[in-house]
Structure 1
Amino acid sequence: MTTVAIPTTVSAPERAGWFTQTGQVLRRWLIVTIRQVWGPVMSLVQPIIWILLFGQVFRSLGDLPQFAAAAGTGGYIEYLVPGILMMTVLYSGAWAGTGYIDDINSGVMDQYLSSAIRRSAIITGQLTQQLIVNVVQSLVVLGIGWLGGARYAGGVGGLLVALAVATLLATIFCCASTAIALISRNQIALISLSQLIVLPATFLSTTMMPSALLPDWVAAVARWNPMTWAVELGRGGLSGEYPDAAWLQVAGLVALAALAFTWAVRSIRAYQRSI
């Protein structure tokens, strides 16, 4: 009689790599974006109003000697467009966490966390989708600014710099919004905190007015505001004249983006431990 050897061990199924996992998460969020494209489209209404209405109303500011001396640009529209560009990604990024709250309420997040997918891949996939949307929105904003009369002396290279800086700023606020969403797990709390952050971040910066024309206390706050760093770098790229502290501002934005991403990843792990 012959004996048949029966294997005593079963090999574990091969797990997809990190990039494959991230790509699958990205694909899922891109499909959601295409199905609900009205959201990104409607978010462009505000920059259109700011550039074409607010910019026209205050266009005469560019003719004032004080403004010209402080801003050093071709006019108020050219000064305003980089600020509106950063405002757009700031507001879009602040809402990024709403998708996670929807996933929590629908049970999708539990399916994610019960699978073998890496937690950083969940964050990176959704973040990449947000950044793709932000790049498209940024291009539209720059196009609206051009139609409104702005001209970009920095050329194609300057446009790429402005887009890169906008992407850095978007990374910071997308990841921060994600962390807040995973901690609060409440849509109202996320929206309230977002409004509490984005409005002061916008108006306590050089988005609308040069630092030299701001009240002293506002100028002091604006100097350390990441929104100011992003706006001035974007403005430098579009105009071809970068601020003196450009490299320090870039380093600050990169450091904040890394910290925000780490916070988001730790938040999803903390969420998993709490359920």
Structure 2
Amino acid sequence: MISDTIYLFNKYMQISLRAPLWLLFTLIQPLIWLIIFSELFGNMAQLPGFPEDSYKDFFVPGVLIMTVLFGSSWCGVSLLREIRSGTVDKMLTTPVSRAAIVLSRIMHSAVQVLVQTLIILVTAWVVGASVHFHPLHLGMGMITIFFLGVGFAALSNGLAMTLQREEPLVVMGNLMTLPLMFFSSAMVPQQMMPEWIQIASKINPIEYATAAVRQSLSDKFDMMIYLKDTGILAIFCAVALVWSISAFNSIKD
């Protein structure tokens, strides 16, 4: 299974590398979020108890998480298109592992959003955001982002196999991603949220990913907080992977 996954992953990466402009186009929206939201909510940083000196500094981890969430949520659409085109059926006639078909797509999606977040992070630093670039902490933050990308790509694939149509999958993706963002501290500090939203955020994987990435970019890094949040995210990732593979196997049997 591992060799099959690596082979298919390399195939998908080669396809992506033939169209590098697509990767750049996908960066436009998160960069617009960073610029517009930083201006729109800039005065929030003047409120008592705000955790950063500027809203832009606070929002950088949120933009990274938003990029992963919206990028990985399209993974299921790509899988449905491959099924519709007959590509998946052709793969199933070969000895390739069924799990590898799903895993290779998920890993490809996660690596794509990982590259995007690195570009956005450097761009945010260039435009004036205060980012603490500690090599070890930055690497740990990228691990968190990878887990998040894998988890939501797997969730998207599982939904794709459940719904089996592109249109409802896109609708479901939009209905899922926006509330998850608003029910987290990606845009607003948790202590400034209504109490009921704070409670709801405790079961939101986006909240744990945002908190872990924020730790990795902070000069006040707390290892225990990072490990707790990333550990919870890893559990979500594992559950989503198992469901995604199981859903694919049940449909293609």
* Residue type of the alignment partner of 2:95: A
Is 1:212 the counterpart of 2:212? The answer is no
TM-score by length of 1: 0.86
- Which residue of the partner structure matches residue 202 of structure 2? 223
TM-aligned CA deviation for residue 38 of structure 1: 4.3
1:63 to 46, 67, 76: 46
Is contact 1:127–1:174 with CA below 8 Å preserved after alignment? Answer: yes
1:144 to 123, 126, 145: 123
Is contact 1:52–1:148 with CA below 8 Å preserved after alignment? Answer: no
Written as runs of structure 1 = structure 2, the 5 A alignment for 1:111-126 is: 111-126=90-105
Report Cα offsets for 1:197-244 as digits up to 9, x if no partner.
Answer: 100000111011111111111111123211111101100110133466
Distance 1:57 1:245 in 2: 30
1:267 to 229, 243, 247: 247
* Residue type of the alignment partner of 2:38: G
Distance 1:213 1:33 in 2: 41
Specify every segment of 5 or more residues in structure 2 that has no aligned partner in the other structure, as ranges.
Answer: none
* Residue type of the alignment partner of 1:188: E
- Which residue of the partner structure matches residue 35 of structure 2? 52
Distance 2:250 2:92 in 1: 11
- Which residue of the partner structure matches residue 28 of structure 1? 11
1:250 to 215, 230, 233: 230
TM-aligned CA deviation for residue 154 of structure 1: 5.2
Distance 1:44 1:34 in 2: 16
TM-aligned CA deviation for residue 35 of structure 1: 3.8
* Residue type of the alignment partner of 2:2: F
Specify every segment of 5 or more residues in structure 1 that has no aligned partner in the other structure, as ranges.
Answer: 1-17
Distance 2:232 2:247 in 1: 22
- Which residue of the partner structure matches residue 14 of structure 1? none
* Residue type of the alignment partner of 2:3: T
Is contact 1:181–1:190 with CA below 8 Å preserved after alignment? Answer: yes
Q: State which drifts further: 107-116 or 242-251.
A: 242-251
Aligned residues: 252
- Which residue of the partner structure matches residue 90 of structure 1? 69
Bigger-Rg structure (1/2): 1
TM-aligned CA deviation for residue 74 of structure 1: 3.2
Q: Percent identity?
A: 25
2:138 to 159, 183, 188: 159
TM-aligned CA deviation for residue 124 of structure 1: 1.9
TM-score by length of 2: 0.93
User: CA-atom RMSD, angstroms?
Assistant: 1.7
Is contact 1:85–1:142 with CA below 8 Å preserved after alignment? Answer: yes
1:100 to 79, 82, 106: 79
TM-aligned CA deviation for residue 54 of structure 1: 1.4
Distance 1:33 1:172 in 2: 21
Is contact 1:104–1:185 with CA below 8 Å preserved after alignment? Answer: no
Distance 2:137 2:72 in 1: 23
- Which residue of the partner structure matches residue 175 of structure 2? 196
TM-aligned CA deviation for residue 22 of structure 1: 1.5
Is contact 2:212–2:225 with CA below 8 Å preserved after alignment? Answer: no
Q: State which drifts further: 153-162 or 99-108.
A: 153-162
TM-aligned CA deviation for residue 21 of structure 1: 1.4
